[in-house]
Chains A and B, each alone.
Chain A
Amino acid sequence: MNIINIEHIAKIYQVGLEEVHALRDVSLRIDKNEYVAIMGPSGSGKSTLMNMLGCLDTPTRGKYDFNGVNVSEMTDNDLARIRNKEIGFVFQTFNLLPRSDALHNVELPLIYAGISFAERRDKALKALVDVGLGDRVHHKPNELSGGQRQRVAIARALVTNPSIILADEPTGNLDSKTGEEIMQLFNEIHTKGNTIILVTHEEYIAEHAARIIRLKDGLVEKDEQVQNRYIPQKINSSVEL
């Protein structure tokens, strides 16, 4: 079943007097439990596509069905609700609230979902334990390493049990060893049945996915299954990050 169904989407920005075609004409489908990487050089439109997929932005033209619902013409509030319930974001720069501890950061989407204190505390704790941070729940982001911060962000993305996880260069700010650990975590999450969309410009990161969509100049250049998919080794579980 399609989770994402995009038909002839275009996004045009007005910069001064010039029109910039960030996306010209993109169509794609993503199924449940897929693991997709979106690749492309800078300026190819992959960030724009990610914002579109993440319901942070709406297309200028075309149709976007999310779980069978047309989101391309939704109001800001409805989009906020979709982002809250259906989409888990993981960003390159982590984007945690700097003054709040890990637990509160993970709780935040549940607050916006209107879930009661006790229930969300349980869920947030469990999500943190799941990413291996059960002993760091009251640490603030600046007391955590890069890898740990990204784990908090992943816990935050998972806590609402969303339809898709949208990761934008999740290893971009991490050293290669830590990056590998994060990619392994994504692999686990995927194995558990989640749908993951990964935006990256690095080939070896993209090869963790099962399918790679390559963008160029606002068009899909190539959309193919990965032949030799790289499955990360289970690293020692007592990870020191």
Chain B
Amino acid sequence: MRFILFELKEGMLIAFRALKANKVRTSLTMLGIFIGITVVVLMSTAIKGINNSFQDGISALGSDVLYIDKWAWFTNEEWWKLRNRKSITLADYEDFKSQVKLPIAVAPVINSQQTVKFDDKRVDGVFLNGSNADYVKTTNFTFDQGRFYNEVESNASRQVAVIGSEIATKLFPRGDALDKIIKIGNANYKVVGILAEQGSFILGPFNPDNQVFIPIGTIFKNFIAEHRGTVTFNVRAPNPALLEETKAEAEGVMRKVRGLRYDEENDFSINQQEGLMAEYNSVVGVIQIAGLFITGLSLFVGAIGIMNIMFVSVRERTKEIGIRKAIGAKKRTILTQFLLESSAICLLGGIAGLLAAILGSMALNQYFPTSIQVDAVIIAIGVSALTGILSGFAPAYQASKLDPVESLRYE
């Protein structure tokens, strides 16, 4: 054991001596591993970052909320079958709400994309939601200023609006949105509440930060003819554990509301975030694997570079190997020396790559959530050491097998 440590230590010194003697070659070879490790680590941290913010975004949707809709988020049905379903109406909502017992809140939602203006500032393509006062109970919204519109305002279809934090920042950079009159479409609305920052960038227009909420009656009055729109019910279960029960009850009640016979299919869909997650994983998972594979290829190319250089190095140093063997180096000693050389190249390149990736992810973090995890560090170092050993093995083995007599004669 002590002798193995001794050999490792001496081998390391000899390896570093050889690497130092060939600075240009060493650093060029290192560059291959450096780039490989940098992109792999950056890729994996970016993936991790996207995953995290998607998780955040998803949980903003609520793991205890069901969305009863004419349309299904994910389905294998023909789209025209869904299109031919009857629209869900506000009357259905009243009917449904009066019959379900489990949910703590049920809110009808309908939306439209509109332009929101204040003075000369405008935000286009805003998700405009119409709902009632119960809506806020189906969410975990917190408020920066003001409140959600109340039942009176909602029932009377008043011209009031609650705006998301990003809309507020864009229209009111000084943060004085409360009680101001904004223009949505052609009508004026009074801002009664400003949401605190809610979701994450990943949801895009579905992020509540980019949305505006007005009473459902108001949206029917100003933007959508009531007979043409279809309403979604946001149904919140008392807690995530009761979600399935709530779903079962909701399905039964909904079938009654829609007057379906026992042998008729549902003419509505009950959506939930779980499906979203599964869909996300199946789509993004493939992209992630492809991304890691492609970046992994660059690491592979780096490894081939190392193997190539090590083969050249063994050939070039045939005489040196002969000398070392003549004065008593064993096969194992030569093998260790060359393996240590290739591992040292990889480790140094890997550590440099890791540092670059950390810097890179700090820079990227301003546009894009990334996070370097400890496991990424361990994996990067482990992968580079492994690359060194694997790509160095064949050349090192070749070196260890050289015949001392022939290699001494080699010029």
Interface residues of B in 294-335 (CB under 8 A from A): 319-320, 322-333
Contact (Cβ within 8 A) A81 B21: no
Chain A nearest CB from B325 CB (Å) reads 7
Q: Tell me, in angstroms, the Cα distance from A51 to B409 when the chains sit together.
A: 12
* Interface membership of A142, Cβ < 8 A: no
Contact (Cβ within 8 A) B405 A109: no
Contact (Cβ within 8 A) A112 B17: no
Chain B nearest CB from A170 CB (Å) reads 15
* Interface membership of B367, Cβ < 8 A: no
Contact (Cβ within 8 A) B327 A89: yes
Interface residues of A in 48-85 (CB under 8 A from B): 51, 54, 56-57, 76-77, 80-81, 83-85
Number of interface residues, chain A, beta carbon within 8 A: 27
Contact (Cβ within 8 A) A77 B330: yes
Contact (Cβ within 8 A) A113 B320: no
Contact (Cβ within 8 A) A99 B404: no
Contact (Cβ within 8 A) A80 B17: no
Q: Tell me, in angstroms, the Cα distance from A89 to B327 when the chains sit together.
A: 7
Residue of A nearest to B322 (CB): A95
Chain B nearest CB from A202 CB (Å) reads 21
How many CB-defined contacts (below 8 Å) exist between A and B? 62
Contact (Cβ within 8 A) B326 A95: yes
Q: Which residues of B contact A57 (CB under 8 A)?
A: 404-405
Q: Which residues of B contact A80 (CB under 8 A)?
A: 325, 328-331
* Interface membership of B94, Cβ < 8 A: no
* Interface membership of A35, Cβ < 8 A: no
Residue of B nearest to A159 (CB): B327
Partner of A97, one of B7, B323, B330: B323
Chain B nearest CB from A172 CB (Å) reads 14
Contact with A along B16-28 (1 / 0, CB 8 A): 0110010000000
Q: Which residues of B contact A16 (CB under 8 A)?
A: none
Chain A nearest CB from B351 CB (Å) reads 25
* Interface membership of B10, Cβ < 8 A: yes
Interface residues of A in 101-129 (CB under 8 A from B): 104, 108-109, 111-114
Q: Tell me, in angstroms, the Cα distance from A170 to B186 when the chains sit together.
A: 104
Residue of B nearest to A91 (CB): B408
Contact (Cβ within 8 A) B328 A99: no
Interface residues of B in 113-155 (CB under 8 A from A): none
Number of interface residues, chain B, beta carbon within 8 A: 25
Contact with A along B273-302 (1 / 0, CB 8 A): 000000000000000000000000000000
Residue of B nearest to A115 (CB): B6
* Interface membership of A211, Cβ < 8 A: no
Contact (Cβ within 8 A) A111 B331: no
Interface residues of B in 207-230 (CB under 8 A from A): none
Contact (Cβ within 8 A) B328 A81: yes
Q: Tell me, in angstroms, the Cα distance from A80 to B322 when the chains sit together.
A: 12
Q: Which residues of B contact A77 (CB under 8 A)?
A: 330-332
Contact (Cβ within 8 A) B405 A84: no
Q: Tell me, in angstroms, the Cα distance from A89 to B405 when the chains sit together.
A: 13
Contact (Cβ within 8 A) A84 B408: no
* Interface membership of A27, Cβ < 8 A: no
Q: Which residues of B contact A104 (CB under 8 A)?
A: 17
Interface residues of B in 178-232 (CB under 8 A from A): none
Contact (Cβ within 8 A) B3 A114: yes
Known interface pairs A112-B333, A114-B3; A56-B405 also in contact (CB < 8 Å): yes
* Interface membership of A100, Cβ < 8 A: yes
Chain B nearest CB from A131 CB (Å) reads 16
Partner of B327, one of A99, A100, A112, A114: A112
Q: Tell me, in angstroms, the Cα distance from A57 to B406 when the chains sit together.
A: 10
Q: Which residues of A contact B333 (CB under 8 A)?
A: 112
* Interface membership of A156, Cβ < 8 A: yes
Contact (Cβ within 8 A) A100 B17: yes
Partner of B326, one of A56, A81, A85, A99: A56
Contact (Cβ within 8 A) A83 B326: yes
Contact (Cβ within 8 A) B328 A95: no
Chain A nearest CB from B393 CB (Å) reads 19
Chain A nearest CB from B94 CB (Å) reads 90
Known interface pairs A51-B405, A56-B404, A111-B10; A156-B17 also in contact (CB < 8 Å): no
Q: Tell me, in angstroms, the Cα distance from A95 to B325 when the chains sit together.
A: 12
Q: Tell me, in angstroms, the Cα distance from A113 to B3 when the chains sit together.
A: 10
Partner of B323, one of A95, A111, A160: A95
Q: Which residues of A contact B18 (CB under 8 A)?
A: 99
Contact (Cβ within 8 A) B10 A95: no
Interface residues of A (CB under 8 A from B): 51, 54, 56-57, 76-77, 80-81, 83-85, 89, 91, 95-97, 99-100, 104, 108-109, 111-114, 156, 160
For the complex of A and B, list the 4 residue pairs with the smallest distance between their C-beta atoms, beginning with the closest.
A84-B328, A112-B328, A99-B21, A109-B327
